[in-house]
Amino acid sequence: MTTATNQKAKEAYFTASQGQLIWARFKKQKAAMIAACVLLALILSGMFAPFLSPYDPTVAGRDKDYLNGAPQIPKFCDENGCSMRPFLYTVTRERSLATNFRWVEKINKDERRYMQFFVKGDDYKLFGFIPGNIHLFGMDEGYVHLFGTDSAGKDIFSRTLHAIWTSLQVGTMGVVISFVLALVIGGISGYYGGWLDSVIQMVTDAIRTVPAIPLFMAIAAFIPPEWSAETRFFFISMILGLIGWPTLARRVRTHLLTERNQEYVLAARLCGASPSHIIRRHLLPSFTSYIIVDLVISFPYMVLSETALSFIGLGLKDPVNSLGVMLQNVTKADVLLNYQWYFIPVIFFIALVMAFVFVGDGLRDAADPYSETRK
């Protein structure tokens, strides 16, 4: 029985596709699998942010009576007994002379506000086109702010989920643009070679030597102030893509230079196939797995670029919710001393970037058939 099982396992290994082999090697890496689960949870939370978040992340959903409010953690039990439903106490806030007119909270433990699930709330459009107004949770009276509120009374939990999705969208658009440019430019350079390859490589080297931050500062100086948030969103995504293609283009070129003289390419030429057909149907598919790995690895750099630009004021701005826009608030001295819950989005930003890095490293090792023999 054991011999038959081992024989089937060997047959499955030798008949498996490249994707199946990569997945089998990827599953053996615990860190990469944990990072993949975290990344999947963050992506889903961003995709379904309008449903998961209790309130509109813009000024329209703000709580004007709870500005710079601390996080509210629902409870099940207190000295008055336990409840099957999570609840919060009724809180009143007033300015106090003893604290230099800062907000002072008074908690009334005799008045409970109970949390409800699948409640009607602010209208939204899931994925941008599915209308709805049902939210995962809410309160029977008043608001609940799991991560607190900012200076405008906007719910930080709702803003964080929407910010994750915005940053992922910017990263995705930037990666797609750079991916298409890299395949076209790297494919032409590697397939034809000669003087055309030399010219393309000079252009590639010139783009790689352009410093990113001064470039964005120059571009920001020419952005009209009347541009809408959506226009700035697409503009930043396009710029990130236009300067992010040289690395992948170099790898595509290197692979095509080594593969263009293989027998299957010569056979395709003799059959009358055009250069574009050979590149598209024969050369590029021969290292698809490596292209996918490069795409995953480039995601965190795109997210980091968007966050850095928005953080220094050159990228997205309010009312757009992105991780970079939210990180702008943590640099204020008042926040560092009194409103530490502003740092909660920083935790999600670190988790998102690290998850991409670990998944990318795991895929890179899984795509390399010699990675296990080197260890």
Q: What is the pTM of this model?
A: 0.80
- Integer angstrom CA distances of residue 65 from 57, 143, 283, 334, 335: 16, 10, 62, 20, 19
Percent of the chain with pLDDT over 70: 86
Is the CB of residue 142 less than 8 Å from the CB of residue 115? no
33-46: average pLDDT: 92
The pLDDT of residue 185 is above 70: yes
Q: What is the pLDDT of residue 2?
A: 59
The residues pairing with 114 across neighbouring beta strands, listed in sequence order, are 87
> Which strands form 102-126's sheet, in the order they lie side by side?
75-78, 81-96, 102-126, 130-139
236-264: average pLDDT: 81
354-360: average pLDDT: 87
Is the CB of residue 294 less than 8 Å from the CB of residue 229? no
The model's pLDDT over 114-154, given as tens digits with 9 standing for 90+, comes to: 888 888 888 888 887 888 888 888 888 888 888 888 888 88
- Burial class of 370 by CB neighbour count within 10 A (0 to 12, 13 to 18, 19+): exposed
Q: What is the pLDDT of residue 94?
A: 67
Which pairing describes strands 81-96 and 130-139: parallel, antiparallel, or unpaired?
A: unpaired
The pLDDT of residue 370 is above 70: no
Is the CB of residue 355 less than 8 Å from the CB of residue 38? yes
Give the integer Cα–Cα distance in Å for 236 and 242.
10
3-state SS assignment for residue 134:
strand
Q: What is the pLDDT of residue 37?
A: 93
CATH superfamily of 160-367: MetI-like (1.10.3720.10)
